[in-house]
Amino acid sequence: MTDDPRPAGQTIGLAVPIPEPYGSELQDWRRSFGDPLADAIPAHITLLPPRFIADADRPGLYEHLDKVASRFAPFRVHLRGTATFLPVSPVVFVALAQGISACERLSDAIRTGPLDVELSFPYHPHVTVAHHVSEEAMDNAFDTLAGYDAGFDVAAFSLYEHGDDGYWRRERDFVLTGEAARV
Protein backbone atom coordinates (compact mmCIF):
# COMPACT_ATOMS: atom_id res chain seq x y z
CA MET A 1 0.00 0.00 0.00
CA THR A 2 1.35 3.43 -0.90
CA ASP A 3 0.61 6.86 0.44
CA ASP A 4 1.12 8.56 -2.94
CA PRO A 5 -1.60 11.24 -3.11
CA ARG A 6 -1.35 11.55 -6.89
CA PRO A 7 -3.98 9.90 -9.07
CA ALA A 8 -2.96 7.10 -11.41
CA GLY A 9 -1.00 8.50 -14.33
CA GLN A 10 2.29 8.80 -16.14
CA THR A 11 5.14 11.22 -16.67
CA ILE A 12 5.13 12.28 -20.30
CA GLY A 13 7.16 14.52 -22.58
CA LEU A 14 6.51 15.81 -26.08
CA ALA A 15 9.24 15.98 -28.69
CA VAL A 16 10.26 15.85 -32.31
CA PRO A 17 11.97 12.45 -32.72
CA ILE A 18 15.21 12.53 -34.69
CA PRO A 19 14.69 10.16 -37.66
CA GLU A 20 17.08 7.46 -38.80
CA PRO A 21 19.89 7.28 -39.51
CA TYR A 22 20.53 10.44 -37.47
CA GLY A 23 18.67 9.37 -34.31
CA SER A 24 20.79 6.26 -33.71
CA GLU A 25 23.92 8.09 -34.77
CA LEU A 26 23.40 10.89 -32.23
CA GLN A 27 22.43 8.41 -29.53
CA ASP A 28 25.64 6.43 -30.25
CA TRP A 29 27.66 9.63 -29.96
CA ARG A 30 25.94 10.48 -26.67
CA ARG A 31 26.82 7.02 -25.35
CA SER A 32 30.44 7.43 -26.51
CA PHE A 33 30.76 10.62 -24.46
CA GLY A 34 29.77 8.66 -21.34
CA ASP A 35 26.33 10.19 -20.86
CA PRO A 36 24.55 7.97 -18.33
CA LEU A 37 21.15 8.61 -19.96
CA ALA A 38 22.23 7.83 -23.53
CA ASP A 39 20.33 4.53 -23.66
CA ALA A 40 17.27 5.78 -21.76
CA ILE A 41 16.49 8.83 -23.90
CA PRO A 42 16.08 8.57 -27.69
CA ALA A 43 17.54 11.48 -29.69
CA HIS A 44 14.92 14.24 -29.88
CA ILE A 45 14.08 17.94 -29.84
CA THR A 46 12.03 18.63 -26.71
CA LEU A 47 8.75 20.49 -27.17
CA LEU A 48 7.38 19.94 -23.64
CA PRO A 49 9.63 18.89 -20.75
CA PRO A 50 8.57 16.02 -18.49
CA ARG A 51 5.21 16.47 -16.83
CA PHE A 52 2.89 14.19 -14.87
CA ILE A 53 -0.49 13.52 -16.51
CA ALA A 54 -3.32 11.75 -14.70
CA ASP A 55 -4.91 8.87 -16.61
CA ALA A 56 -8.28 10.62 -16.35
CA ASP A 57 -6.83 13.61 -18.25
CA ARG A 58 -5.60 11.57 -21.23
CA PRO A 59 -8.65 12.04 -23.49
CA GLY A 60 -8.50 15.84 -23.12
CA LEU A 61 -4.75 15.78 -23.62
CA TYR A 62 -5.03 13.81 -26.86
CA GLU A 63 -7.80 16.11 -28.11
CA HIS A 64 -5.63 19.16 -27.37
CA LEU A 65 -2.59 17.68 -29.13
CA ASP A 66 -4.64 16.61 -32.17
CA LYS A 67 -5.92 20.20 -32.48
CA VAL A 68 -2.41 21.62 -32.18
CA ALA A 69 -1.10 19.22 -34.83
CA SER A 70 -3.94 20.18 -37.18
CA ARG A 71 -2.80 23.81 -37.11
CA PHE A 72 0.83 23.17 -38.10
CA ALA A 73 2.29 22.20 -41.45
CA PRO A 74 5.30 19.91 -41.78
CA PHE A 75 8.60 21.76 -41.62
CA ARG A 76 12.31 21.27 -42.22
CA VAL A 77 14.96 20.90 -39.51
CA HIS A 78 18.63 21.35 -40.25
CA LEU A 79 21.03 20.32 -37.49
CA ARG A 80 24.46 21.90 -37.67
CA GLY A 81 27.34 22.22 -35.23
CA THR A 82 27.45 22.25 -31.45
CA ALA A 83 26.74 24.65 -28.63
CA THR A 84 26.41 24.51 -24.85
CA PHE A 85 24.25 25.84 -22.05
CA LEU A 86 27.29 26.42 -19.82
CA PRO A 87 27.59 27.99 -17.30
CA VAL A 88 23.84 27.65 -16.58
CA SER A 89 23.62 23.91 -17.28
CA PRO A 90 26.30 21.30 -18.12
CA VAL A 91 24.89 20.34 -21.51
CA VAL A 92 26.45 20.09 -24.97
CA PHE A 93 23.99 19.93 -27.84
CA VAL A 94 23.70 19.85 -31.60
CA ALA A 95 22.17 23.13 -32.70
CA LEU A 96 19.32 23.81 -35.09
CA ALA A 97 20.28 25.95 -38.07
CA GLN A 98 16.77 25.66 -39.54
CA GLY A 99 13.44 24.89 -37.88
CA ILE A 100 13.98 26.97 -34.74
CA SER A 101 10.92 29.19 -35.15
CA ALA A 102 8.70 26.25 -36.16
CA CYS A 103 9.73 24.37 -33.00
CA GLU A 104 9.20 27.50 -30.89
CA ARG A 105 5.70 28.06 -32.26
CA LEU A 106 4.81 24.39 -31.87
CA SER A 107 6.10 24.30 -28.29
CA ASP A 108 4.14 27.48 -27.45
CA ALA A 109 0.94 25.99 -28.89
CA ILE A 110 1.43 22.71 -27.02
CA ARG A 111 1.93 24.58 -23.73
CA THR A 112 -1.66 25.87 -23.66
CA GLY A 113 -4.93 24.40 -22.39
CA PRO A 114 -4.30 21.25 -20.34
CA LEU A 115 -0.53 21.67 -20.77
CA ASP A 116 -0.36 25.33 -19.72
CA VAL A 117 2.99 25.35 -17.92
CA GLU A 118 5.65 27.91 -17.32
CA LEU A 119 9.13 26.76 -18.25
CA SER A 120 12.07 26.98 -15.85
CA PHE A 121 14.28 28.30 -18.68
CA PRO A 122 13.50 30.06 -21.98
CA TYR A 123 12.70 27.50 -24.68
CA HIS A 124 15.63 26.75 -26.99
CA PRO A 125 15.22 23.80 -29.39
CA HIS A 126 18.27 21.52 -29.49
CA VAL A 127 19.44 17.88 -29.47
CA THR A 128 21.37 16.97 -26.31
CA VAL A 129 24.53 14.93 -26.92
CA ALA A 130 26.25 15.23 -23.52
CA HIS A 131 24.75 15.84 -20.07
CA HIS A 132 25.99 14.85 -16.61
CA VAL A 133 29.48 14.08 -17.93
CA SER A 134 32.96 15.30 -17.02
CA GLU A 135 34.30 18.58 -18.31
CA GLU A 136 36.71 16.64 -20.52
CA ALA A 137 33.85 14.61 -22.01
CA MET A 138 31.86 17.82 -22.61
CA ASP A 139 34.83 19.36 -24.43
CA ASN A 140 35.19 16.18 -26.47
CA ALA A 141 31.49 16.20 -27.42
CA PHE A 142 31.65 19.89 -28.34
CA ASP A 143 34.74 19.42 -30.55
CA THR A 144 33.82 16.05 -32.06
CA LEU A 145 30.40 17.13 -33.31
CA ALA A 146 31.31 20.73 -34.21
CA GLY A 147 31.02 19.83 -37.90
CA TYR A 148 27.83 17.79 -37.54
CA ASP A 149 25.37 18.43 -40.35
CA ALA A 150 22.04 16.73 -41.03
CA GLY A 151 18.65 17.74 -42.36
CA PHE A 152 15.21 16.14 -42.27
CA ASP A 153 11.53 16.92 -42.63
CA VAL A 154 9.29 16.95 -39.56
CA ALA A 155 5.82 15.58 -40.28
CA ALA A 156 4.76 14.85 -36.69
CA PHE A 157 5.64 15.29 -33.05
CA SER A 158 5.51 12.48 -30.50
CA LEU A 159 4.33 11.78 -26.98
CA TYR A 160 6.88 9.88 -24.92
CA GLU A 161 6.19 8.09 -21.62
CA HIS A 162 8.74 7.66 -18.87
CA GLY A 163 8.72 4.03 -17.75
CA ASP A 164 9.31 2.70 -14.25
CA ASP A 165 12.63 1.39 -15.60
CA GLY A 166 13.80 4.97 -16.34
CA TYR A 167 13.50 4.65 -20.12
CA TRP A 168 11.53 7.04 -22.35
CA ARG A 169 9.36 5.33 -24.96
CA ARG A 170 7.56 6.83 -27.93
CA GLU A 171 3.88 6.10 -27.42
CA ARG A 172 1.92 8.17 -29.91
CA ASP A 173 2.54 10.47 -32.88
CA PHE A 174 0.56 13.59 -33.76
CA VAL A 175 0.74 14.24 -37.49
CA LEU A 176 1.10 17.85 -38.62
CA THR A 177 -1.77 18.39 -41.04
CA GLY A 178 -2.00 22.19 -41.27
CA GLU A 179 -1.39 24.05 -44.47
CA ALA A 180 1.98 25.61 -45.17
CA ALA A 181 2.15 29.35 -44.68
CA ARG A 182 1.69 31.30 -47.87
CA VAL A 183 4.50 33.70 -48.62
CATH of the domain at 151: 3.90.1140.10
Specify if 91 maps to a domain: yes
Specify if 182 maps to a domain: no
Specify if 134 maps to a domain: yes
Specify if 34 maps to a domain: yes
Specify if 125 maps to a domain: yes
Specify if 88 maps to a domain: yes
- pLDDT of residue 7 exceeding 90, the answer is no
- pLDDT of residue 31 exceeding 70, the answer is yes
Give the pLDDT confidence score for residue 18 in this predicted structure.
Answer: 98
Query: At 176, which amino acid appears?
Result: L
Specify if 2 maps to a domain: no
pTM of the shown model: 0.92
User: How distant is the alpha carbon of residue 15 from its chain centre?
Assistant: 4
Which residues form the domain of 74? 9-175
Total structural domains in the chain? 1
Specify if 52 maps to a domain: yes
